Amino acid sequence: MDEPVVLLERRDDGVAVVTLNNGKVNALSGAVVAALHQIADSLTAEPPAAVVVTGGERIFAAGADISEFGGPDEARAITDSFHGALDAVAAVPRFVIAAVAGYALGGGCELALACDYRIASEKAVFGQPEILLGTIPGGGGTQRLARQVGPSRAKELCITGRQVAADEALRIGLADEVVAHDGLHDRALSLAAECARGAVLAQSFAKSAIDRGLSTSLADGLLIERDAFVDSFRTEDSQIGVKSFLEHGPGKAEFTGT
Ligand code: COA
């Protein structure tokens, strides 16, 4: 039987690892995008404690499968399925870390942008090269890239199709960390495991308040935070965390994730 095009491993430490597994360039074909969407929905339905999304060692993902391109009708189906899947990734109510070993181009870059945090290997390369095909990003790139690196840099990258190496990606805020190629997966897994030991429900309130706040005015975002702050006190972990602090000092709480 063929291997699945996207792999999901739920580890004992609570970390779920999602791995793109579609041949040597990890093109994001319709089948890959559908599998990713289904896996993201399953991670929302039964949340792990943290998530790592990764791809191939040389190519994280080469973007949409260009052999599936056609005219406007195909484009509509592709953009609808990409947005559905990447919105589902962004909506997973836990910290989602992209571990990018190599090329993250087009939809690969957009997938990394839909994650909460990007750890790049020193060999990683990011880009939105769709313009070189005479088209534009259709998986959220114009919006998420602009929010990540600012509108002028996003326009320059989308309009030239220029690729960005890891050091520049770090400098412009497209990557959040750059690590040695061989250390990428250990770093991503250890950060995810650290988060998994934390107050994961409060983490999800923080994630959601930041994401929802960025889509609205500052005043509305501040209202969102006030409600999320109150909601965090409905969790058992807030009782555990406060009690532990008062009795033993900071950083010693053993959270239950409830
Ligand atoms: N969709 C479909 N096929 C793709 C692809 C994609 N996004 N990216 C690469 N391929 C195919 C190539 O056509 C080639 O096919 P072939 O072996 O039948 O000739 C094969 O994968 C290997 O690609 P190649 O360019 O020879 O490999 P490389 O290692 O030199 O470069 C990339 C790898 C990813 C840097 C390069 O292929 C690339 O830039 N791909 C396009 C990225 C892109 O424009 N993405 C946006 C899509 S909207």
Assess whether the C-beta atom of 103 lies below 6 angstroms from ligand 1.
yes
**What does the pLDDT look like over 57-88, one tens digit per residue?**
999 999 999 999 999 999 999 999 999 999 99
Cβ(189) – ligand 1 distance below 6 Å: no
- For residue 157, what pLDDT is reported? 98
CB of 116 shorter than 6 A to ligand 1: no
- pLDDT confidence of residue 254: 94
Distance 38 CA to ligand 1 centre (A): 25
25 C-beta closer than 6 A to ligand 1: yes
Ligand 1 center from residue 24 Cα (angstroms)? 9
Mention every residue, 6+ apart, whose C-beta is less than 8 A from residue 218.
Answer: none
Residues of the chain with pLDDT under 50: none
The Cα–Cα gap between 255 and 196 comes to 9
Query: If you measure from the C-alpha of residue 25 to the centroid of ligand 1, how many angstroms do you get, rounded to a whole number?
Result: 6
Listed as own residue / partner, the contacts of 38-46 with beta carbons closer than 8 Å and 24 or more positions apart are 39/6, 39/8, 40/85, 40/88, 40/89, 40/91, 40/92, 41/88, 42/8, 43/8, 43/16, 43/18, 43/92, 43/94, 44/88, 44/91, 44/92, 44/93
Residue nearest to atom 1 of ligand 1 (CA): 65
Domains, the chain, ranges and CATH? 6-196 (3.90.226.10), 200-248 (1.10.12)
Q: Whose CA is nearest to atom 22 of ligand 1?
A: 25
Query: What pLDDT sits at residue 2?
Result: 82
- Determine the pLDDT at residue 155: 98
| Residue ID of nearest Cα to ligand 1 atom 11 | 25
65 Cβ below 6 A of ligand 1: yes
Tokens representing residue 104 in the block: 């993250």
pLDDT value, residue 233:
97
